[in-house]
Amino acid sequence: MPPTGVGAAGGSNEVTPQLQEVIGQVSSQTAGFGKLLTDPGQTGGSEMGLMLQLQRAMSLETMMYQSVSNMEKARSDCSKQAIQNFK
């Protein structure tokens, strides 16, 4: 579920469509790699290549979630600071 909301400045603070597209691509790649890894016809060499691709996809997914988490933390901190300044 992508984070949405209104920032402290009153503007919309939604995850960009590009980031949503990348998240969808990584999710579909991860599912595809999972299916390939359970295929009994795979050889040892191709399994190593698939594992490296899966590792790259998981790393990319982790970076995206960290980026979204950092944006949400910054938005929350900004909102808290605005409330404190208002008092």
Q: Give per-residue pLDDT as tens, 8-24.
A: 444 444 667 777 777 77
User: Which residues form the domain of 51?
Assistant: 24-61
Matching residue, tokens 């290549």: 49
Domain count, the chain: 1
Q: What is the mean pLDDT of the chain?
A: 75
Q: Which token pair is 80?
A: 């808290």
In a domain, 68, yes or no: no
In a domain, 73, yes or no: no
In a domain, 31, yes or no: yes
In a domain, 33, yes or no: yes
In one-letter notation, the amino acid at residue 42 is: Q
- State the average pLDDT over residues 68-83: 91
- % of the chain exceeding 90 in pLDDT: 18
Q: Dump pLDDT digits (tens) for 29-51.
A: 777 777 766 666 655 667 777 88
Reduced DSSP (H G I as helix, E B as strand, rest coil) percent helix, strand, coil of the chain, to 5: 75, 0, 25
Angle made by CA atoms 33, 38, 42, in degrees to the nearest 5:
85
pTM above 0.85, yes or no: no
What DSSP state is assigned to residue 2?
-
In a domain, 83, yes or no: no
Beta partners for residue 6, in sequence order: 12
In a domain, 8, yes or no: no
